Structure 1
Amino acid sequence: MPKSSRKQIDNDEKKILRELQKNSKESIDKIAKKCGFSRQKVWRIIKRLEKNKTIWGYHAIVDNEKINMKSYVMLLKRTNEPIGEDIDKIIKATLSEIGKQVDVNVQVNSYLHGIYDWMFCFTAEDIRQAKKFSEVLTRNFSKYIAEIHILEEIFPLKKCESINPNLDRLKEYF
């Protein structure tokens, strides 16, 4: 197979993306070594993936307990009310404004297929703050929300390809 085939390029990109997902802070030299590529090839592929928005950004995985925060998942079920033009308002509000109003950090905001229609993963100081976030969403978009369920994360085993370094502490819950 020629080196420049679309399939080979896709495979090379996937190798690099896997390494970045494991540790986005890893040096280009180490990524190149793990993938069996030259440093220049890795750099070019990463720049291309950033330019075409395959890579949206980079982040740190934080131990929320050490900063007195808790992680929550909020699942929303929609009503049958058509959203129409309000979608722009919903996107703007849920991506930036509503979380800030109640001091929660929205980390994931996804439209879903299945039993639920929308999911938020966020951090907050406590369940009261998480419920305030839920109330603000309901107040602003009540005609579109049929149900909201909030789940509190008790112990993360793995986040973003990284295994919790304190995995032994899971035993405390059993």
Structure 2
Amino acid sequence: MFQSFLTLTKASESFPFCAELVLFTFNADTKFFKGFVKFLPYAFIVLIRIYHYLFVVQFSLVFLLFPAHFNFTSLRFISWDKYRVLLNINVTDDVKMSGKESKRNVKLYRDDVLERLIENPTKSVREIAKEMGSYRQKVWRRKRKLEEENVIWGYTAVVDESKINHVLYIVLLKMKPMSKELAELIMNRITKGEPHKQNVRLINVLYVNGEYDWIIMFSAQNHATARKYYDSLRLAYEDYLLEKPVIVDVNFALVREGKTNPEIGKLYEFVPT
């Protein structure tokens, strides 16, 4: 009959797991069983090699698919329990090992990217990633998501109107309560480019609380052009206005769109002598 025994071996440092290898030795005179026993160690080595290559391929695929999730300074092997992918990955910022992100971390990370885009939207993804100590792929994904979710509407330049011989105007309107017809009228005028047809550059249209309901900011080349646009507003919203709109022109802007006027010192020019 066959005589069997169990041999327990420890894995090498390259394979941090415990493997149980059951070797059967057969006390038989036949050449077949002697050859079979002699072949087992080689078969074991081949299986280990195959397993090693499969692991390398698996790791490579994970890295190629999710390169931004890895921080190689802390890459190490850990337990092989439950046959999971056995990598302890130090995930930077808000990206977790599972790929799911908590609302808190998402908010913090978005603020980091958003803050830099607000500060200077002309910065490249590479520059932002370098400042944050992050990866270009991560910053690019965050930026694209902010744009897709309309957190970022677009990018523009903050212009000093006086430098291009324009004047900045603000119109304050007090209207009847919002209705479907009024909403459609306002949106249609904006989307169809009515201000552009009046040769003005529309800057802001704000629906606000307080004494007035609407604040419209625009720039025009001269007072005559501004007056035409102002009158077009009165005619367009005649049925909804509660009183005559107020229009003012801006003498000097200190801060616009979060940007401080680089010539803020010119405010002294308005001090009476």
TM-score normalized with structure 1 length: 0.88
The answer on whether the counterparts of 1:72 and 1:121 sit within 8 Å (CA) in structure 2 is: yes
SS of 2:147 mapped into structure 1: helix
Q: CA RMSD in A?
A: 2.0
Distance 1:63 1:97 in 2: 22
| Distance (Å, rounded) in 1 between the aligned partners of 2:137 and 2:231 | 50
Unmatched runs of 5 consecutive residues or more in structure 2: 1-92, 96-100
In 1, are the aligned partners of 2:94 and 2:106 still within 8 Å (CA)?
no
Choose from 61, 75, 87 the match for 2:183. 87
TM-fit CA distance, 1:109: 1.2
Q: Indicate the residue corresponding to 1:8 in structure 2.
A: 105
The offset of 1:9, in angstroms, is: 0.6
**Which residue is 2:167 aligned to?**
70
The AA in structure 1 aligned to 2:221 is E
The correspondence of residues 1-174 of structure 1 with structure 2, limited to 5 A, is 3=95, 4-79=101-176, 83-147=179-243, 148-174=245-271
Kept in 1, the 8 Å contact 2:253–2:261? The answer is yes
Query: What SS does the corresponding residue of 2:238 show, helix, strand or coil?
Result: helix
Which of 1 and 2 has greater Rg?
2
SS in 1 for 2:129: helix
Counterpart code for 1:99: P
Q: Relative to structure 1, is the Cα distance of residues 70 and 48 closer, same or farther in structure 2, using a 3 angstrom cutoff?
A: same
Higher RCO (Cα < 8 Å, 6 or more apart) = 1
How many residues align? The count is: 173
Q: Confirm or deny: 8 A CA contact 1:71 1:153 kept in the other structure.
A: yes
Q: Output the CA distance in 2 between the equivalents of 1:166 and 1:24.
A: 21
1:18 is paired with a residue of what secondary structure?
helix
Query: Residue 88 and residue 29 in structure 1: after superposition, are their counterparts in 2 closer, same or farther (change >3 A)?
Result: same
